[in-house]
Chains A and B, each alone.
Chain A
Amino acid sequence: MDGRRLPGEGGPAAVTWLRHPLLHRAAAIGLGAVFLYASLQKIAQPADFARIVYHYQVIGPSARLGYVPANVLAVALPWTEAVAGLLLIAGVWRREAAAVVSLLLVTFLVAVGSALYRGIDIENCGCFTVEGAGRQAGLWLLVGDAALLAVGIFLAAAPTRPNPMRVETPEGALTAPLGHE
């Protein structure tokens, strides 16, 4: 891609590289695949996932909230993961899907962090599997979620068509090829 760089195109090399459309596409497919995969068993076994939601004690059940919010979350969250994951893989509404995934990851970080802070021992974080002892909701989970969050924010914040710059030459307008997918 460096061979195609036009004179006067700004920014250090790293920024140019980070704006490459192929990098965005690959990152979106990777992130989308993670979320689509994460949704499958939760969709197949909603009651198992609901029990994991209960263990977190973030959205109930409680005397004040009852069971409905936790159950609705257990029903809606996996499908939101699936829809956002599919959109990321397909490259449709990519930035918005990445924003949704980022918001989900922020809520996961808050839920896991608060469970750790309150000393709640969650044997299965409910990340990818909902049966038996899965991955423990611990510090490493926070690290993994934060890494995914970085990818999500990167995809959400970066313009789909980075720097569509036009350069006027005597022969007419030139458009930087980087700007188009």
Chain B
Amino acid sequence: MPLAWRRVIAIPVAGLVLGLAWNAWSGRGLALAGNAFVREGDAIEEIEVQEARARMEKGALVLDARPRDFYDMSHVPGALPLPEDDFDRAFASIEDRLRSHFDIIVYCSGYGCEASHIVARKLAGQRIRAAVLHEGWPAWTDAGYPVKEGPQP
């Protein structure tokens, strides 16, 4: 006996309709066009790569939230490592510099990467404001901007 394909299609369609309805009316929904890495209550500014470059030229400090190995391979020139997975130690070593800058930009590995938002949130907890570079490292390299290899900023 063959499967009733209309039923097979009806089940995910029902899932989609129920899901969209729940999302709209349950009060727990998310903005369908929004970035779920930005959480409720976050005051995190997301900026595009051109703006990040312009701000850097005016002296903005850039932070690399990726694991340290990635930073050592290559990073935005002048960026300091502040890996999300080793935040406390790295933060302590550069806290003075962070507190002396008024414009700070954090980046990580791009769309699937949450580290830059987490670091920006942790910095906000230290009363340090930081913007997140939208699309992160891939945006920087895709734009053809220079990169620096090795562990030095």
A-to-B contact residues, CB < 8 Å? 43-47, 50-51, 54-57, 60-63, 66-68, 71-72, 74-84, 87, 93, 95-97, 99-100, 103, 120, 156, 159-161
Partner of A75, one of B3, B4, B19, B33: B19
* Contact A96:B7 (CB < 8 A) given known A78-B19, A83-B18: yes
B49 to chain A, nearest CB (A): 11
Bound CA–CA A135/B16 (angstroms) = 26
- Flag if B30 contacts A46 (CB, 8 Å): yes
- Flag if B114 contacts A55 (CB, 8 Å): yes
5 interchain residue pairs of minimum CB distance = A80-B15, A50-B36, A57-B112, A96-B7, A76-B19
Bound CA–CA A76/B114 (angstroms) = 22
- Flag if B32 contacts A100 (CB, 8 Å): no
- Flag if A51 contacts B114 (CB, 8 Å): yes
Cβ contacts under 8 Å, A87 to chain B: 11
- Flag if B111 contacts A54 (CB, 8 Å): yes
Cβ contacts under 8 Å, B114 to chain A: 51, 54-55
Interface of B is mostly: loop
Please, how many residues of chain B have a CB less than 8 angstroms from a CB on the other chain? 31
B35 proximal to A (CB < 8 A)? yes
Which residues 1-44 of B have a CB within 8 angstroms of A?
A: 1, 3-4, 7-8, 11-12, 14-16, 18-20, 22-23, 28-37, 39-40
- Flag if B3 contacts A156 (CB, 8 Å): yes
Task: Select from chain A the residue with minimum beta-carbon distance to B37.
Answer: A51
Cβ contacts under 8 Å, B40 to chain A: 47
Partner of B33, one of A67, A76, A78, A82: A67
A132 to chain B, nearest CB (A): 13
Bound CA–CA A56/B112 (angstroms) = 7
Cβ contacts under 8 Å, B7 to chain A: 93, 96
A128 to chain B, nearest CB (A): 18
B103 proximal to A (CB < 8 A)? no
Bound CA–CA A78/B4 (angstroms) = 23
* Contact A79:B28 (CB < 8 A) given known A54-B112, A61-B35: no
* Contact A75:B11 (CB < 8 A) given known A54-B111, A62-B111, A95-B3: no
B4 to chain A, nearest CB (A): 6
- Flag if B33 contacts A71 (CB, 8 Å): yes
- Flag if A66 contacts B33 (CB, 8 Å): yes
- Flag if A46 contacts B28 (CB, 8 Å): yes
A112 to chain B, nearest CB (A): 14
Most buried by A among B1, B22, B36, B111: B36
- Flag if A67 contacts B11 (CB, 8 Å): no
